[in-house]
A = this chain, B = another copy of it.
Amino acid sequence: MTEIPIAKPILDLNDRLAAANRALLDSHGVFMLDLIASPGAGKTTTILATIAALRDTYSVAVIEGDIASDVDARKIKEQGIPAVQINTGGICHLEARMISQALDALDLDSLDLIIVENVGNLVCPTDFYLGEDCKIVILSVPEGHDKPLKYPGVFQVAQAIILSKIDTMPVFDFDERQFRSDIEHINPHALIFPISATKDHGVKTWVRWLSEQIEQKRRMKAKTAHETE
Contact = CB atoms under 8 A, between A and B. Distances in A.
Interface stretch (A116-124, A187-195, A202-210, A217-225): A116-124
B2 A13 contact: yes
Interface of A (DSSP majority class): loop
Contacts of A151: 39, 67-68, 120
A52 interface: no
A167 to B, nearest CB: 9
Interface in A20-67: 38-40, 66-67
Interface in A130-176: 140, 142-144, 146-147, 149-153, 165, 168, 171
A92 interface: yes
Contact of A67 (B2, B66, B90, B152): B152
A3 interface: yes
Contact of A40 (B13, B38, B90, B92): B38
A10 interface: yes
A69 B3 contact: no
A71 B146 contact: yes
A9 to B, nearest CB: 8
A39 B38 contact: yes
29 contacts: A3-B10, A38-B38, A38-B39, A38-B120, A39-B143, A39-B147, A39-B150, A40-B143, A40-B147, A67-B123, A67-B153, A68-B149, A68-B150, A68-B151, A68-B152, A68-B153, A69-B149, A71-B149, A90-B123, A92-B92, A92-B123, A120-B122, A121-B122, A121-B123, A121-B124, A123-B124, A140-B142, A142-B165, A168-B168
